[in-house]
Amino acid sequence: MKKVIQINYQNAVFTIEEAAYELLKNYIESLKDYFKKEESADEIMHDIELRIAELMSDAIKKGALCITEEIITTITSSIGNPNDLAEEAAASFEEEQKAASHDAAAEGEQPYKNWTRASNQSMLGGVCAGIAHRYQIDVTIVRLFCVLFLFTGIGFLCYLLLWIILPSEPIPAFTKKRLFRSPDNKRIGGVCAGLGFYFNMDAWIFRILFLVPFILSFFHWHSFFFWYEGTLRGSSVLVYLVMLAIIPKAKTAADKLEMKGQKVDLDAIKDVVNKDLKNIEDNAHKLGEKIKSTFNAKQNKEKINGLNNVINPILKLMQIIIAIGIFCFALLMVLVVLELFIKNHHSQSWIAYFLDFSSGENYLYIALASIVLLPFVGMLFWAIKIMSKSKKPFKWVSRVLFFVWIIALLVLIIEGSNYLQNFSTKAIVKKEFSIQNFKNNTLHIYTKSEEEFLNVGYKKPIAYSSAHMLSSDDLNKFTSNIKIETYPSLDTAWRAQILYCAKGPSQHMATQYVNELKVSINQLDSVLFINKYLYIPSYQKFRNQFCIVRIYMPVGKEIVFHKNLDQLHWYTLDLHDFSFEWQSGEAVNSRNEYIELEATYKMGYDGLDLVEQK
């Protein structure tokens, strides 16, 4: 017993077994699928379906009660199953393929002796493509050299000449490995990735080759990279741009195969396409997972994550741009820190005033350098990690960096506490300076001018400050660590007191240090010159040596501090509360208020008062 249904097929009504109907339906679907690549598939299918209808009505006329499975089978075997049709068609297809490959082989054996211009592969006249064909090299390579050559005037003329002379002919496609820009693992334009494929090397080698000259072009000192000269500057960017313009992008599956130097045939193309599809699938899968986890997350997070999925590509691009920025910054900082620390690691540098490189303080210096340097090195690797796809090699890098950093920190703490012992005791020496009587009521205070100081024959600045906060010659170091204080005098005489101060690991050492300090003061009538510098014997290290000049003046007298006093710099390190003071233009009154320069002050009973200018 079989179920029978009625169908309207091609404007005729047929009684058909349900199983036969299913068979017919499947058969037509399979034919449609088979013919879908044909140019006029609809017309072919229409013809065939008309024929099926005709054959079915024939069967009915011959006395069949309804369309049975056997009838359908007879019809399908007369028209042919897709497999049979494919077999009949395949013979010719294979034949064509063989013919084509034979042609290619025949051409491959041919010597390429003709100089031609390629009429079918030209960018500008086809000269490069013609040369590439003549010598059987990748046209892109010829183009790159051609562009470099074109920058010279002769190259341009040669190109024009070849364009005019050479006959134009179509040439066959180049089938060996070709240089492409790779869109799959690109960072900017895929140039380096493509070079990587062409030379069978890691793309990062080329990225570094382009990046390093580019970053170095921001540097303007030569001591560290003395070999690096101006001509190379920025040229890597130019070369990159030229390559970006000349090298074609690998768009199709065939391009990608040629880029990797694989043979282009149907199977290989299918592999590439499948791989692409799989990537898309994987991405879709990941996206799905993300969305799933988003929905599981809390309400307020949901929106943010959903947004993330939409702007993910933008974020990724930004991430890479930021990573490049961080890379440049970190590289710059590493070089600057290295430069600074290496440059200053000698006995004449200003750092040698603070640290003794011949003792354990050398380790302190190295530890300090490492502590500053390592975070930037870490940053550098982090940026590379962001830009690179493989994360594995970077795992141990961060661990090693962290380990070394901790060791440096320990050294800093141990050596640092030793160093601070140098500041444990303090010694003070006071020296009197008698100020001669002078006619006016007003005393003028100057520091000795720069020129005067030069005339004395000193000055070999070892600090970078224009004020020469620290200088040295063979015998002495000079610091401008001088402070001027004013106090009301108990009698009617002017008087000055110079107070020297230094620290040391013991009272004995501190006293020895302090006794050797010297500031010279001269008086010329109503003008008091205070030497800009405190003299420190050159063997002394920084032990917070400073000097305070106290001026005791009668009440009612006036005093003017002149402009060049601003060259004094007061700095002091106090171990007991770990404070470090730093001030410029040192002159204070007894109330510990700062004094305006070039203004007239009058001494009152409790300190200086500003005299109003008339």
Partner 1 sequence: MNIENTQSQLKKGVLEYCILSIIMNGEVYPSEIIEKMKAANLVILEGTLYPLLTRLKNADLLSYRWVESNSGPPRKYFSLTDKGSAFYAELQNTWMEINNAVQIITKN
Residue 371 is classified by DSSP as: H
**Binder among 91, 266, 310, 314 for partner 1 (CB under 8 A):** 91
Q: How far is the CB of 267 from partner 1 (least distance, A)?
A: 20
- Identified binder of partner 1 from the candidate list 5, 89, 160, 321, rule CB under 8 A: 89
Smallest separation, CB 263 to partner 1 (Å): 24
Selected range binding partner 1 among 72-80, 263-271, 533-541, 596-604, rule: CB under 8 A = 72-80
DSSP designation for 594: B
Residue among 4, 7, 19, 80 that touches partner 1 (CB under 8 A): 80
- Cβ 326 vs Cβ 379: under 8 Å: yes
Q: Which is nearer to partner 1, 83 or 515 (CB)?
A: 83
Main-chain phi, psi angles of 453, to 5 degrees: -65, -40
Site map 515..534 versus partner 1, x via CB under 8 A: --------------------
Q: Toward partner 1, which CB reaches closer, 81 or 262?
A: 81
Q: Which is nearer to partner 1, 11 or 223 (CB)?
A: 11
CB of 64 to partner 1, least distance (A): 14
* Interface segment toward partner 1; rule CB under 8 A; list 90-98, 281-289, 407-415, 499-507: 90-98
Strand partners, 4: 17
Q: How far is the CB of 109 from partner 1 (least distance, A)?
A: 24
CB of 59 to partner 1, least distance (A): 10
Find the shortest distance in angstroms from Cβ 259 to partner 1: 35
Please, which residue, 58 or 574, has the CB nearer to partner 1?
58
Which is closer to partner 1, CB of 82 or CB of 213?
A: 82
Q: 14: closest CA among 38, 49, 42? A: 49
271 binds partner 1 (CB under 8 A): no
* 124/76 Cα distance (integer angstroms): 56
Q: What are phi and psi of 108, to 5 degrees?
A: -60, -35
Residue with Cβ nearer partner 1 (35 or 446)? 35
Angle at 283 between CA 280 and CA 285, to 5 degrees: 110
Residue with Cβ nearer partner 1 (55 or 599): 55
Site for partner 1 in 12-51 (CB under 8 A): 12, 31, 35, 38-40, 43-44, 47-48, 50-51
238 near partner 1, rule: CB under 8 A: no
569 exposure class (CB count in 10 Å sphere: 0-12, 13-18, 19+): buried
| Nearer CB in complex with partner 1: 74/152 | 74
Q: Is 604 in the site for partner 1 (CB under 8 A)?
A: no
* Token pair recorded at residue 15: 């009684």
How far apart CA 139 and CA 178 sit, in angstroms, is 8
Of the ranges 80-88, 297-305, 416-424, 476-484, which one interacts with partner 1 (CB under 8 A)?
Answer: 80-88
- C-beta closer to partner 1: residue 35 or 198: 35
**Is 224:338 a contact under the CB 8 Å cutoff?**
yes
Longest dimension (CA), the chain: 151
Contact call for residues 385 and 394 (beta carbons, < 8 A):
yes
Minimum distance, C-beta of residue 39 to partner 1, in the bound complex (Å)? 7
Minimum distance, C-beta of residue 127 to partner 1, in the bound complex (Å)? 39
Q: What DSSP string describes 3-29?
A: -EEEEEETTEEEEEEHHHHHHHHHHHH
HSE-up of residue 177 (Cα within 13 Å, Cβ side):
10
Q: Counting contacts by CB under 8 A, is residue 305 touching partner 1?
A: no
Least Å distance, CB 5 to partner 1, is: 20
Q: Which of 362, 283, 354 is nearest to 542 (CA)?
A: 354
For the residues of 305-361, what is the DSSP string, one character each?
HHHHHHHHHHHHHHHHHHHHHHHHHHHHHHHHHHHHHHHT-STTSSHHHH--TTSTH
Question: What distance in Å separates the CA atoms of residue 263 and residue 260, rounded to the nearest whole number?
Answer: 9
600 class by beta-carbon count within 10 Å (0-12 exposed, 13-18 middle, 19+ buried): middle
Give the contacts of 5 (CB within 8 A, at least 6 positions apart).
Answer: 15, 16, 17, 18, 21
Beta carbon nearer to partner 1, 154 or 266: 266
Among 18, 29, 33, 58, indicate the residue that binds partner 1 (CB under 8 A).
58
Instruction: Specify the stretch interacting with partner 1 by CB under 8 A; choose among 55-63, 196-204, 548-556, 557-565.
Output: 55-63
Binding footprint of partner 1 on the chain (CB under 8 A)? 10-12, 31, 35, 38-40, 43-44, 47-48, 50-51, 53-54, 56-58, 61, 78-82, 84-85, 87-89, 91-92, 94-95
